[in-house]
C-alpha cells in the first residue's frame, strides 16, 4: 500500500512544553486513518501540523519531518497556501462563510481562477455530491449557508474543502456536535471519499473509529502508543494503555 504521508521523529513545542514527542507514523493512500487519544494527547496538534496550520501560533516550533509524497512539508521553502489546498481541513464546529450555499463551495475555485459558469457549476455540484449534500440543497443553492442545519453545514464545509481538489482531508472531530442521523450521513460520505482522497480524522469517539477506519493510531501524552489495522488494534491491542482507552477505562 502506497504511503501518502510519513511523519518522522516529529516533536512539536508550545513554548518550552513538548506537546508531541518523537512521533513517527506512516499513513497510506486512500484510507480512513483515525488518530485516537484523550485530551492533551496531541491529536489535534498532529492534524494541524500536517498542513502547517500549527504555524499560525508564533510561540510554537517543530522538529523532524512530515513527508507528503516524499517531500518535507515543514521545509522553509514550501508554498504553504498550496500545501493547504492539497491537505484541506474541516474543524469540529462548522464554519460556513456568510454567503450562499453555492458561493461557499465556489469560493476556492474562483480564487484559483475558475471563471466559466459551467465549470464552476460542475465543480460545485461534484463537491456537494461527494459530501452527500447535493440532494438536500440542489433546489436552494442560493439560500444563506447559515440557514442549513448543523449537519448540513458540516457537510457543506467538507464540500468547500473538496472543491479545492485536495489529496488529503483532515477532520478534527467533525461530528462532535451532531445528532446520530447527521453523523451517519457524514460517515457515509467519508467512506465514499476515500476512493479519491486520503482521510485523516480525529474521530468523535472510539465507536466512530471502529465503524469507519481502515487503520487507527493511539496517542497518549504526546507519544504514539500503537498503530495498525483497526480490527487488530480493537480486538487484540499490543499495549494495555490502548486496551484501557478503547474499552473506556479512561479518556
Q: Binning pLDDT at 50, 70 and 90, where does residue 251 land?
A: low
Q: Does residue 176 carry a pLDDT above 90?
A: no
Instruction: Please compute the mean of the pLDDT values over residues 97-107 and round it to a whole number.
Output: 96
Q: Say what the pLDDT of residue 56 is.
A: 85
By the 8 A CB rule, do 122 and 200 touch? no
Average pLDDT of the residues in 192-209:
94
Q: How confident is the model at residue 187 (pLDDT cuts 50, 70, 90)?
A: very high
Residue 89 has pLDDT above 90, yes or no: yes
39-70: pLDDT as tens digits: 889 999 999 999 999 988 888 999 999 999 99
pLDDT band at 152 (very low <50, low <70, confident <90, very high): very high
- For 24, residues 6+ apart whose C-beta sits below 8 A from its C-beta are 7, 8, 9, 10, 224
Span 113-119, mean pLDDT? 86
| DSSP string for residues in 133-152 | -HHHHTT-TTSBGGGS-HHH
Residue 51 pLDDT = 95
* 183 vs 151: CA distance, rounded Å: 7
Q: Which of 37-51, 84-98, 109-123 shows the lowest mean pLDDT across its residues?
A: 109-123
- Contact predicate 53/173, CB 8 Å: no
Mean pLDDT of 82-100: 94
How confident is the prediction for the chain on average, in pLDDT?
A: 94
Q: Cell numbers of 209, please?
A: 473509529
Q: What is the DSSP string of 52-113?
A: TGGGGSTTEEEEEEEEETTEETTSTT--HHHHHHHEEEE-SS----SSBHHHHHHHHHHHTT
Task: Pull the grid cell for residue 232.
Answer: 487488530
Instruction: Give the H or E element holding residue 10.
Output: strand 3-14
Over 90: is that where the pLDDT of 221 sits?
A: yes
CA separation, residue 30 to residues 86, 124, 191, 205 (Å): 14, 22, 10, 22
Overall average pLDDT of the 135-151 stretch? 95
Look-up of cell digits 500503537: 226
Torsion of CA 207, 46, 12, 227, to 10 degrees: 60
Burial of 191 (0-12, 13-18, 19+ CB in 10 A): middle
Task: Give the model's confidence band at 204: pLDDT under 50 very low, under 70 low, under 90 confident, else very high.
Answer: confident
**Mean pLDDT to the nearest integer, 234-249:** 93
Angle at 15 between CA 11 and CA 16, to 5 degrees: 70
Residue 15: DSSP 8-state: T
Average pLDDT over residues 238-243: 95
Amino acid at each position: 500500500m502506497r504511503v501518502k504521508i510519513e511523519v518522522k521523529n516529529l516533536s512539536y513545542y508550545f513554548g518550552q512544553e513538548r506537546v508531541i514527542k518523537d512521533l513517527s507514523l506512516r499513513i497510506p493512500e486512500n484510507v480512513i486513518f483515525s488518530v485516537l487519544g484523550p485530551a492533551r494527547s496531541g491529536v489535534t496538534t498532529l492534524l494541524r501540523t500536517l498542513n502547517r496550520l500549527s504555524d499560525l501560533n508564533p510561540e510554537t516550533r517543530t522538529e523532524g519531518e512530515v513527508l507528503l509524497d516524499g517531500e518535507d512539508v515543514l521545509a522553509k521553502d514550501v508554498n504553504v497556501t498550496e500545501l493547504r489546498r492539497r491537505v484541506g481541513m474541516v474543524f469540529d464546529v462548522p464554519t460556513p462563510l456568510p454567503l450562499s450555499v453555492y458561493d461557499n463551495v465556489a469560493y476556492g475555485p474562483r480564487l484559483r481562477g475558475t471563471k466559466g459558469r459551467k465549470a464552476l457549476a460542475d465543480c460545485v455540484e461534484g463537491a456537494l455530491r461527494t459530501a452527500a449534500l447535493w440532494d438536500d440543497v440542489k433546489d436552494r443553492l442560493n439560500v444563506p449557508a447559515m440557514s442549513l442545519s448543523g449537519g448540513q453545514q458540516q457537510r457543506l464545509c467538507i464540500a468547500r474543502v473538496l472543491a479545492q481538489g485536495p489529496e488529503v482531508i483532515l477532520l478534527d472531530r467533525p461530528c462532535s456536535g451532531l445528532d446520530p442521523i447527521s453523523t451517519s450521513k457524514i460517515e457515509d460520505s467519508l467512506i465514499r471519499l476515500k476512493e479519491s482522497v486520503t482521510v485523516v480524522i480525529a474521530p468523535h469517539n472510539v465507536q466512530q473509529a471502529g465503524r469507519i477506519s481502515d487503520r487507527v493510531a493511539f496517542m497518549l501524552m504526546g507519544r504514539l502508543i500503537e498503530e495498525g489495522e483497526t480490527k487488530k488494534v480493537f480486538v487484540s491491542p499490543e499495549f494495555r494503555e490502548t486496551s484501557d482507552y478503547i474499552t473506556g477505562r479512561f479518556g
